Amino acid sequence: MKPDDKIIDKIKKIMSENESLYKVSPSLFDPLFEAGEIVTFPRGYMIMKAGRQLRDVYVIIDGLVGSFYESGSKVILHGLATPGTLLIHGASFFNVKPSFMHWEAVVATTVLRVPDSFIREYLHSCHEFAIWMYGMAENVIMYYWCPVNVFTWLFSVILCIDKPPVSVFVSAVRGKCSPFAWYA
């Protein structure tokens, strides 16, 4: 089921203002939404598995995606992605390497899946999109400069509180979140 235009417009606005250090017009993302496919993953669905490549790019429309990695016998929550977040795995997308992380739908999650071939072409043909993506990369670099202990599960939840996806917290209260997310 396709989300209504008001929701898509809100997602584009979030992307234009929050995902990159460079602010752009929400219309910059119109081609992504034209080229992509809307997909809904059930709670607990493993969107990306460690050890595999994932070249496609995802934009979260509704729901919550957890990014996890394993350290010894522990599963560590790396971060949470909320509506308006663009998910791209750098090792797979840029370097054609397998992922060391996995992404899981913590609750039922609707995404826009955009083929990597479209993203690559758009990067070459649209300077503004390339600059916006560069700003996303700068955000990632700044994220990794922060002390690792700052990015605990609690801090990730606090980051969500500013603009929480209501469905996530309702699902969490009702016990409908993926059990895997609570191991972190």
Residues linked to residue 62 through DSSP beta bridges, in sequence order:
110
Which sign does the torsion angle of CA 25, 56, 72, 63 carry? positive
Domain spans of the chain, in order of start: 5-178
CATH C-level class of 5-178:
mainly beta
- Residue 66 has a pLDDT of 87
The low-confidence residues of the chain, meaning pLDDT below 50, are 148-151, 153, 163-184
The secondary structure of residue 16, as a DSSP letter, is: H
- Calpha distance 28→47 (Å, rounded): 26
- Calpha distance 117→97 (Å, rounded): 16
- Residue 42 has a pLDDT of 96
Residue-wise pLDDT for 126-145, tens only, equals: 999 999 988 877 766 665 55
Q: How many CA atoms lie within 13 A of 36 on its CB side?
A: 24
- Residue 127 has a pLDDT of 95
- Residue 168 has a pLDDT of 47
